[in-house]
Amino acid sequence: MSSFEILKTDLTNKFGANDFKFITTPVGDDVIECTKESIPALLRYLKEYADFNFLMDICGVDYPTRAKRFDVVYHLFSSKDFRRLRIKTQVSEGEAVGTITPIWRGADWFEREAFDMFGIKFAGHPNLRKILTHEQFVGHPLRKDYEADRQQHCDTVMPIRFDDTPTQRGDVLNSKFVPLNIGPSHPAMHGTLRVMVELDGETIVRAGCEIGYLHRCFEKMAETHPYNQVIPYTDRLNYCSAPMNNVGYCKTVERLLGVEIPDRAKNMRIILCELSRIIDHIISVGTGGLDLGALTGFFHLFTFREKVYNLFEKLCGARLTVSMTRVGGMAQDAPEGWYESVLKFCDEMSDGIEEIQKLLIESKIFIKRTQGVCPASKEQAQAWGYTGPLLRASGINVDLRRTNPYYGYEKYDFDVPVGASGDIYDRYLVRVEEMRQSIRIIRQACKNVPKGDYTIRNKNIVLPEKKDVYGNIEGLMNHFMLVIKGLRPPIGEVYDATEAANGELGFYLVSDGSANPYRLKVRPPCFAIYQSFPEVVQGSMLADAIATVASMNVIAGELDR
Amino acid sequence: MTEQKGSATDAALTTQSADDMSRSFAFTTKLDALVAWGQRNSLWPLPYGTACCGIELMSVMGPKYDLARFGAEVVRFSPRQADMLVVAGTITEKMAPILIRIYQQMLEPKYVLSMGACASSGGFYRAYHVLQGADKVIPVDVYVPGCPPTPEAVLDGVMTLQKMIKDHTPRPWKDNWKYPYAERLNENDPVRLISKEIDSIPMVAQPQVTKGMGV
């Protein structure tokens, strides 16, 4: 009996047989559909008795022709046996579904986002306000009846306000304390983050964040573009490690299509992903040091980032936003000698990591600024939905490359570094160690490059090669048909996640059988992490809050989408 | 070295006479040519990096491309100290009022370089929350195309701006610029009142004469 069937028996015994519908989708996702009334009780039960201890995502889907217009979709993950579960419920316009913020505090921003984008109400949510769109924005943009390009101008800036609590209103400032606004245009706020604090001397009494300054409507753009044209948009989610987003998205579409990509493409995707992980950690560690005043580390590490740019340039011509993957494989094969230059880079990077270890990580000032500062405990990390290096720094050993391996990661020999205290120093230690492990993976991958094709050759999915398009009638025909008709996955839905540099990057894709995705929800890792910011910095010094923002490695592109 | 107004043209600087002058004790040029020479070689940038272009801007500043070679390495996040606003990345509707405020706070002479497709036109985000180009709200002097532009292209943009300063290119887009939301402004908006108060504080502390301390 599979674990899903065991769960089915459990739930039927506990809640009765009528409330739930148990479905396993054709691609193998486990789904429970239920009424909106049973949501809080069911999720609490799943968390406490069925080991689904991580809430990964909450999102809405709009079906304007249906009586109950919206789907509310919850994605759960178990860090005990690494299973996933999707819970779906339906609500109609104006109806509210019970909030689950008391069960997972990480539900806070996800529910606010569903409210902002669809107007779905969550009864009992303490701060059901707009989150991504600006204050003067009228309507809910991800509804199907909102046109993608209907802009609404904004001429004010939101004054300082915090989240409401049972005892205190968020927009009323306390005259005993000094209110301070940091960002969005501030060197430590990386361009688009805005942090508001109330200070008693230099101690933070209350903190709040405002996001959405880089909300570029990724999800709406995905709904209005064919599947392959979405790939360049994914580049710009986490722009510090663009290829990883390409891989995550293509892997999701491929899973819905039910195709397996060739080994050579898998190998190349692994190399690209691990190179991206290195350059993402370079930005994180480099700018982290920069925010603490250590300029040298940044300049030193950026030399290596440039070297990776050179490798990307050799591969496809672009430096930052590579768009190298296609649904079904890669856009092209690696040029001659590319794998050798990657190996050469690995040697240089190994030396570079040891240098940065001595220069920054072992520096006395750096240690004093970061060790024991603003730690996030195991329980906090779990409640807020941390993933990736921050989760591992808190001491929970979950790395999707190990726990739910894809592309043959199980064949590679590498270690997963885990921290102990979850403070800022541990986060950087984990990141630096991950860079070393990535180099190990790249070396193994480059030495065993599989022979064969770099993409599948299914004429309904992949465009034929240019030589065929210009050389023979069949190639021309297939090209024409695919461009006109588009890539059309079967009707259905899928959630798939990869281990990106910041944590779990998930894509929830709903297809209605047309050439555009019906709904594409991104589960960005730093969205869940950043919402814990007001709590973890409360009571610490202002300068520590700056160090905390840097260590969370919040990338606005994927935070705001 | 002494300066005299209006005794030699810019072109003369490149000729034999300039060479001769450099050997003698005196050097003559036009005052505004000299000022422009100073301005264009010390463009302190304010990196308004909001998105992917901000990462490429780091490369421009970084060790390989090194914007310092063009006299523009002194990065200032305070608009009061910056000459060149580099809009690097998508400007959303939510960000637009802040961009305007930053631009207004910059002191003359000020220049705007729009880096990348999003800042120049909205790029491929023809979307409900994206401003279709920074020039909808502030005057832009140089547009650098690309998504993101290569660092070489940004360097070229900076050099173009330097040439504009050198040639005293007229900038009607800047001279005729008006605050874009003027009609809809609420004068009693608390945020605006506070910033008015801040704007009225003199930049340089006035020298104070202390009694009993004769010089």
Same domain, A94 and A222: no
Cβ atoms B165, B39 nearer than 8 A:
yes
Q: Record the tokens describing residue A147, joined without a space.
A: 């046109």
Provide the shortest C-alpha distance from residue A318 to chain B (in Å): 9
CATH class of B42-180: alpha beta
Measured CA to CA, the distance from residue A387 to residue A398 in angstroms comes to 8
Measured CA to CA, the distance from residue A69 to residue A148 in angstroms comes to 19
> Is A177 within the bounds of a domain?
no
Provide the shortest C-alpha distance from residue A116 to chain B (in Å): 13
Provide the shortest C-alpha distance from residue A240 to chain B (in Å): 7
Which of these three, A84, A100, A123, is where a domain ends? Answer: A123
Measured CA to CA, the distance from residue A485 to residue A46 in angstroms comes to 43
Provide the shortest C-alpha distance from residue B172 to chain A (in Å): 24
* CATH number of residue A75's parent domain: 3.30.460.80
> Is A478 within the bounds of a domain?
yes
Same domain, A112 and A227: no
Phi, psi of A458 (to 5 degrees): -75, 120
The residue in chain B having the minimum alpha-carbon distance to the alpha carbon of residue A303 is B63
Q: Inter-chain contact B52–A320, Cβ cutoff 8 Å?
A: yes
> Is A30 within the bounds of a domain?
yes
pLDDT band, residue B201 (cuts 50/70/90): low
Q: What pLDDT score does A246 carry?
A: 92
Q: Inter-chain contact A150–B128, Cβ cutoff 8 Å?
A: yes
Q: What pLDDT score does A432 carry?
A: 92
Answer yes or no: is pLDDT of B142 > 90: yes
Residues of A in contact with B185 (CB under 8 A): 155
| DSSP helix, strand, coil percent of chain A (3-state; round to 5) | 45, 15, 40
Tens-place pLDDT, residues A460-498:
889 888 888 999 999 999 999 999 988 899 999 999 999
Cβ atoms B88, B56 nearer than 8 A:
yes
E strand map for A286-422? 325-326, 329-330
Q: What pLDDT score does B193 carry?
A: 54
Tens-place pLDDT, residues B45-60:
999 988 889 889 988 9
User: By percentage, how much of chain B surpasses pLDDT 70?
Assistant: 75
Mean pLDDT of B81-101: 90
Which of these three, A123, A141, A157, is where a domain ends? Answer: A123
Residues of A in contact with B127 (CB under 8 A): 148-149, 151, 216-217, 220-221
pLDDT band, residue B190 (cuts 50/70/90): low
Its domain, for residue A106, covers 3-123
Segment (H or E) for A338: helix A338-356
Tens-place pLDDT, residues A302-337:
889 999 999 999 988 888 888 889 998 898 888 988
Q: Inter-chain contact A215–B89, Cβ cutoff 8 Å?
A: no
Q: What pLDDT score does B195 carry?
A: 55
Quick one: three-class SS letters along chain B?
A: CCCCCCCCCCHHHHCHHHHHHHHCCCCCCCHHHHHHHHHHCCCCEEEEECCHHHHHHHHHHCCCCCHHHHCCCCCCCCHHHCCEEEEECCCECCCHHHHHHHHHHCCCCCEEEEEHHHHHHCCCCCCCCECCCHHHCCCCCEEECCCCCCHHHHHHHHHHHHHHHHHCCCCHHHHCCCCCCHHHCCCCCHHHHHHHHHHCCCCCCCCCCCCCCCC
Answer yes or no: is pLDDT of B211 > 60: no
Q: What pLDDT score does A111 carry?
A: 92
Place of tokens 């080994």: A263
| A426 residue type, one letter | D
Q: What pLDDT score does B14 carry?
A: 61
Residues contacting residue A293 through CB under 8 Å, at least 6 positions apart: A365
* CATH number of residue A555's parent domain: 1.10.645.10
Give DSSP secondary structure letters for B11-63.
GGGGSHHHHHHHHSS-----HHHHHHHHHHT---EEEEE-SHHHHHHHHHHST
Measured CA to CA, the distance from residue A218 to residue A223 in angstroms comes to 9
B95 touches chain A (CB under 8 A): yes
For the ranges A54-58, A441-445, B40-44, B183-187, the lowest mean pLDDT is seen at B183-187
Provide the shortest C-alpha distance from residue B62 to chain A (in Å): 6
Mean pLDDT of A219-242: 91
Answer yes or no: is pLDDT of A360 > 50: yes
Answer yes or no: is pLDDT of B12 > 70: no
Q: What pLDDT score does B20 carry?
A: 75
Portion 25-84 of B in contact with A at CB < 8 A: 48-52, 54-56, 58-59, 62-64, 77
Measured CA to CA, the distance from residue A503 to residue A499 in angstroms comes to 6
The residue in chain A having the minimum alpha-carbon distance to the alpha carbon of residue B58 is A302
Q: What pLDDT score does B198 carry?
A: 56
Residues of A in contact with B92 (CB under 8 A): 134, 212-216
pLDDT band, residue B87 (cuts 50/70/90): very high
Q: Inter-chain contact A214–B56, Cβ cutoff 8 Å?
A: no
Residues contacting residue A165 through CB under 8 Å, at least 6 positions apart: A126
Same domain, A102 and A241: no
Q: Give me the total of CB pairs closer than 8 Å, taking one residue from chain A and one from chain B.
A: 146
A288 touches chain B (CB under 8 A): no
ipTM computed for the complex: 0.88
Number of domains within chain A: 2
Which of these three, A76, A92, A123, is where a domain ends? Answer: A123
Tens-place pLDDT, residues A403-417:
989 998 989 999 999
Q: Record the tokens describing residue A337, joined without a space.
A: 């000698």
Tens-place pLDDT, residues A115-127:
999 999 998 888 8
> Is A134 within the bounds of a domain?
no
Strands lying side by side in the sheet with A203-210:
A178-182, A194-200, A203-210
